[in-house]
Amino acid sequence: MRVEVPTNPSDLLDLAAKIRDKHTQDGDASLLKPLKVEVVSPSIDEANGHDDRAASLRKQAEKETEARDVMLEPIRKFVRQSRDLLLGVYADNPHTLGDWGFTVDESPRGGNAPTPAPK
């Protein structure tokens, strides 16, 4: 038989709070008196507060990411069209697109490079 200690921070904090609450409920009869629960108790509360705020921020970040992603396709289209138009104008000198913020990469694409002849 095993009694696991949670590795998930939220689960660990929940269990710590339950242990502390049981200790408090048992009062002087608590078996945890030697552990001086009152010393760690404020840390449990503070860590729970941080955990709650972190969860809220994750939800907020998810909403913001979704809102951003909805807007990306027209922007992606604009960037592609800009690249294509500028490549037409600067066909003889595509490095000029760097002035517009584009990264110009002349290295061959993976898989398209010729295979060297065996020796």
| Whole-structure pTM value | 0.64
What pLDDT is attached to residue 21? 97
| Domain coordinates in residue numbering, the chain | 9-65
Q: Helices 37-89 & 9-26, crossing angle to 10 degrees?
A: 160
Q: Alpha-carbon distance 60 to 101, whole Å?
A: 31
- Over residues 55-88, the pLDDT tens digits come to 999 999 999 999 999 999 999 999 999 999 999 9
- Over residues 8-61, the pLDDT tens digits come to 999 999 999 999 999 999 999 999 999 999 999 999 999 999 999 999 999 999
The model's confidence at residue 106, banded by pLDDT at 50, 70 and 90, is confident
